[in-house]
Amino acid sequence: MELDFVFDGRELEKVNGFTRSDVTADEVYAFPIVLCDNEIDRDGERFSVSALEELSGLFVGKTGIFDHDPKGSNQTARIYECEVRTDDSRVTSCGEAYTFLYAKAYMMRTEGNRDLITEIEGGIKKEVSVSCAVSGRRCSVCGCDRTENPCGHVKGRSYGGKVCCDILDGAADAYEWSFVAIPAQTEAGVRKRFGGTDSGEAAVLRSELARAQEENGRACEMLKREIMALSFTVRPIMAVEVVKQLTERMSFEELEALRGRLMAQCVQEEEESGEPFAEKDRHNGAFKL
């Protein structure tokens, strides 16, 4: 993406708002960057536009490092201005106007970073990633907050023609931005943390949550198959497409309740007819439980 950027006297004045003493244009190297956007990234997540707006203020003054390694010796640049921009000519895979976080960063021209400046100008050091905290992750299919009540929808799968992803909301803090080799986002890159610190306990909890979500998804798929089989044993027989549409957005609890109702109906019909519903399945050529 080409970004219009000219480092003039007004830009230098903004930079001097962060320096201890005024510097000249010859002493400064400044460049524009795209930090993150509202497109689905490689992790199956995307920022909401409101989260981007919140982050635009939080990232002003934040330092640029390498590979999210928070050593002081890694500090190389600093953001002096940040804003949300929208490209109305582009539409994301979710149908929104492409919106991104546009920032301007500066570094001092020194002998030590001369090669880095050359690599930035030559397009070698290009990809960036951000480290920030958000308070919520909404499922794009059903809207539930996965941090509070994980649903059975799986990131990357399509539900009714809509790809499932996590929508990141409620920006709480911005930590840093980094030059990286492989960012999560194709346009810029983003590395996210949910909460304030990335302690070992938090990492374990996130891992357990991810595993629980995966297991919940598998359990939901098993229930859907059972419901599909049961739908051929009741009267009137339910159409395949009707069952699919009915169960598509159901939670595990809702699927379990529906399965229970169908089982009860099957038992009732068995008592009335005197014929086990498993036998009726075979006569009707239906799926077996």
Q: At which of 198, 231, 263 does a domain end?
A: 198
Say yes or no: 126 and 262 in one domain.
no
pTM for this model (two decimals): 0.64
Nearest-angstrom CA–CA distance, 285 and 289: 13
Contact indicator for 287, 228 with CB cutoff of 8 Å: yes
Nearest-angstrom CA–CA distance, 232 and 265: 12
Asked if residue 186 has pLDDT above 80, the reply is no
Nearest-angstrom CA–CA distance, 215 and 156: 16
Compute CA 4 distance to the chain's CA centroid, rounded to the nearest angstrom: 28
Q: At which of 166, 198, 230 does a domain end?
A: 198
Asked if residue 46 has pLDDT above 60, the reply is yes
Nearest-angstrom CA–CA distance, 6 and 176: 24
Asked if residue 120 has pLDDT above 80, the reply is yes
Say yes or no: 222 and 80 in one domain.
no
User: What's the DSSP call for residue 164?
Assistant: -
The answer to whether position 2 is within a domain reads no
- Binned at pLDDT 50, 70 and 90, residue 267 comes out as confident
Q: Which of 12-16, 27-31, 196-200 has the lowest mean pLDDT?
A: 196-200
> 21 vs 146, which has greater pLDDT?
21
The answer to whether position 4 is within a domain reads no
- Binned at pLDDT 50, 70 and 90, residue 289 comes out as very low
Asked if residue 205 has pLDDT above 80, the reply is no
Asked if residue 140 has pLDDT above 60, the reply is yes
Say yes or no: 58 and 120 in one domain.
yes
Say yes or no: 74 and 188 in one domain.
yes
Q: Is 161 left (phi over 0), alpha (psi -120 to 50) or beta?
A: left
pLDDT of residue 3: 62
Nearest-angstrom CA–CA distance, 224 and 183: 36
How many domains, in total, are found in the chain?
2
CB-based contacts of 24: which residues, under 8 Å, 6+ apart? 12
Range(s) of the domain holding residue 243? 213-284
Nearest-angstrom CA–CA distance, 71 and 228: 56
Report the share of the chain in percent with pLDDT over 90.
45
> 77 vs 212, which has greater pLDDT?
77
Say yes or no: 59 and 107 in one domain.
yes
- Binned at pLDDT 50, 70 and 90, residue 201 comes out as very low
Asked if residue 193 has pLDDT above 50, the reply is no
Q: How far is CA 217 from CA 210, 246, 248, in A?
A: 11, 16, 12
Nearest-angstrom CA–CA distance, 112 and 251: 56
Say yes or no: 174 and 75 in one domain.
yes
pLDDT of residue 118: 94
Contact indicator for 4, 30 with CB cutoff of 8 Å: no
> 248 vs 29, which has greater pLDDT?
29
> 38 vs 220, which has greater pLDDT?
38
The answer to whether position 235 is within a domain reads yes
